Chain A
């Protein structure tokens, strides 16, 4: 672990100082990301005007840009970061598999197939994309759970069932894309995931899930720690392993499904952010969960700012930027730790 390297005689005190330091660092990054996201954009608006636009109810174009476009977009991005990072962190713990992320338990492909079906086959019913994608995500997660159930849940079975079901659902997405290739543009943008044109209504959709999911995740941190000791020890400690696992997977599904239904299939955050956090704060879930959530905010807001500014006025979907910048950074962390 990193901290033991930095603090060779790592006592409890040093470790908690280190964790506090990292958490503060992440928080600063997240706050910085949010501020940057608010102040930078295709349109230059001075800091003064931005503050004015947020706190006074004027009706100029600055107010429109800041209040109705930039601010809600930033907030949606931040919450999406929280949800996906938490979901990934929980799933990696529950499945005891470093590759677990919302994709593995079928959430992405379930939401993907449902969303793309609506966008391609019923483009006039586009308002259904969010609820249907959410249902698709939950349905896929439950389906995989049932498939993996055989007198109990074993993480390996879930992951294999997840891979199989995802492959099955993805073939459906591909088929739709091939047969309705003239309409794939919207679907493609959604599959990459992006925050373009997200505003207050989207914040309303995702906010309750972030609050409820976040609280449930933090409450479950202790259970996740015990689960990580292995099933036998966990049982020995009096934990109902199956119930805990199902409950925590359900929380992760809710978090991820709500995020995916609002911004599309944003990959990467759910997989990489928890790992990056784990490399820095260790795998105690009481620290890992908040660290992941905060890092998720930082990563999404910073990436989205870059996505909006880099080729302005052209915007790049944030999913592309995130993987492009994030993957090398993650590899660096990985190599350094190894």
Chain B
């Protein structure tokens, strides 16, 4: 009986704790809203994130944002494990917190971050844990060029290097303008395939390659078809429509070792009559795009993606790749 009472008391205390926790939240908010905080942003998940002071221990959970952060002169104490080469060797000093899709909570918390930057759509499940530890966490997405610009600016605001961020943006924009200025009047039609010839998946406007093509005024013949799921970047597509679309060139976003994939896919495509009948294939206009520029977000190297595709599609204007 005594023990039962004890349990009951425990449960009561817990419940009251939970409720008092809930009740105190709005009060917290009021305090920070008194404009003493360092930064207040709405992240891409629609959450309001408050940074009471300038973050000193940032943990970034996605490589793309890591590059952006270092690009504007920031530093991280934690980064995702990755097999791709980092742009800033300095960023490799930061502690690893596991692979992007499989972040290790304990490692993450042990770094005692005062800001965690996750990728929207991947890291939502970490929000409750971090929030309960009173660690600010923002969910950001970065696909298109516009996203990149916004994120560079945001990182500049976070680390307090607005001027540097602006110069990074200006430099990038200038290089892109140079490329766009030289675009030929007659634009080409392309289709952008995702990764493999085993099935037909096309990249739409929301993907990195699709976005770059749009900036270069290249006509993507798959654009305009709605994707059936919520992810508008890629969609399984009808090969028949590709025949009808009659693209000038086929661009393939690769994953992994590009040279090997290129060799293999070229024979795959040539030996499969379903592909071999396409005009672009017959004319040898099948090109491969490196994964670090078109599969993973290039971030502050976005101009390189633009330059790369321009060279691939209009070699007569921009010269050949490599």
Contact = CB atoms under 8 A, between A and B. Distances in A.
A41 B240 contact: yes
Interface string B170-210: 00000000000000000000000011111111000000000
Contacts of A308: 238
B264 A200 contact: no
B237 A43 contact: no
A317 interface: yes
A178 B101 contact: yes
B125 to A, nearest CB: 14
Given A199-B273, A201-B272, A313-B225, A124 B238 contact: no
Given A69-B274, A72-B273, A314-B237, A196 B226 contact: no
Interface residues of A, number: 44
Interface SS majority for chain A? helix
B256 interface: yes
B240 A65 contact: yes
Contact of A126 (B198, B222, B238, B277): B198
A274 interface: no
A69 B276 CA distance: 10
A125 interface: yes
Interface in B20-70: none
A114 interface: no
Contacts of B197: 126, 197
B5 to A, nearest CB: 46
B240 A42 contact: yes
B318 interface: no
Contact of A41 (B238, B254, B261, B296): B238
A261 to B, nearest CB: 12
A179 B271 CA distance: 32
Contacts of A43: 238, 240-241, 243-244
A61 interface: yes
Contact of A70 (B240, B256, B257, B271): B240
Nearest to B224: A313
B296 A185 contact: no
B276 A68 contact: yes
Contacts of A315: 200, 236-238
Interface in A113-143: 119, 122-127, 129
A215 B235 CA distance: 40
B18 interface: no
A8 B128 CA distance: 65
B13 interface: no
Contact of B257 (A124, A182, A197): A124
Given A42-B238, A69-B239, A189-B201, 12 more contacts: A41-B238, A43-B240, A65-B243, A72-B274, A123-B255, A124-B263, A126-B196, A179-B99, A185-B195, A186-B198, A313-B237, A314-B237
Interface of B: 99-102, 194-201, 222, 225-228, 234-241, 243-244, 246, 254-257, 260-261, 263-265, 267-268, 271-278, 295-296
23 contacts: A42-B238, A42-B240, A43-B240, A68-B276, A68-B277, A124-B260, A126-B261, A178-B101, A181-B99, A181-B101, A181-B102, A183-B255, A185-B201, A189-B236, A196-B236, A197-B200, A198-B274, A199-B272, A199-B273, A199-B275, A311-B228, A313-B238, A314-B225
